[in-house]
Amino acid sequence: MAEKIDAEQVKKVAKLARLQLSEDEIGEFTGQLEAILEYVEKMDELDTADVEPLAHCLPIANVFREDIIMPSLGTDASLANAPQRDGSFFRVPKILDDNPGA
């Protein structure tokens, strides 16, 4: 079997991911990661020479519609339910303040 996962490796990965783990969590994740690697190693024993690579296990294809030009909604219909409007534009509250250093 390949190199085993130890607590120091889990701590290093947790630090890189900026995760604070308790000692119990480190022990739990060490065991879980070790089990994952053992499973992957077991799968590596399979003969996949005649298996075609695939990106998805289901037969999925993109469905594109025909690009047909259609009339747009129009300004009056678009602004019909606007709470506030300014001519042919939506009026929205100001969200930026005058203090650029904040």
Burial bucket for residue 22 (CB in 10 Å: 0-12, 13-18, 19+): exposed
What are the tens digits of pLDDT across the range 35-54?
999 999 998 898 988 988 88
Q: How many domains does the chain have?
A: 1
Span 61-72, pLDDT tens digits:
887 888 899 999
- 39 assigned to some structural domain: yes
Q: Is residue 23 domain-resident?
A: yes
Using an 8 Å Cβ cutoff, are 84 and 91 in contact? Answer: yes
Residue 38, domain CATH? 1.10.20.60
Q: Would you place residue 101 in the very low, low, confident or very high pLDDT band (cuts 50, 70, 90)?
A: low
Label each residue of 31-72 as H, E or C.
HHHHHHHHHHHHHCCCCCCCCCCCCCCCCCCCCCCCCCCCCC
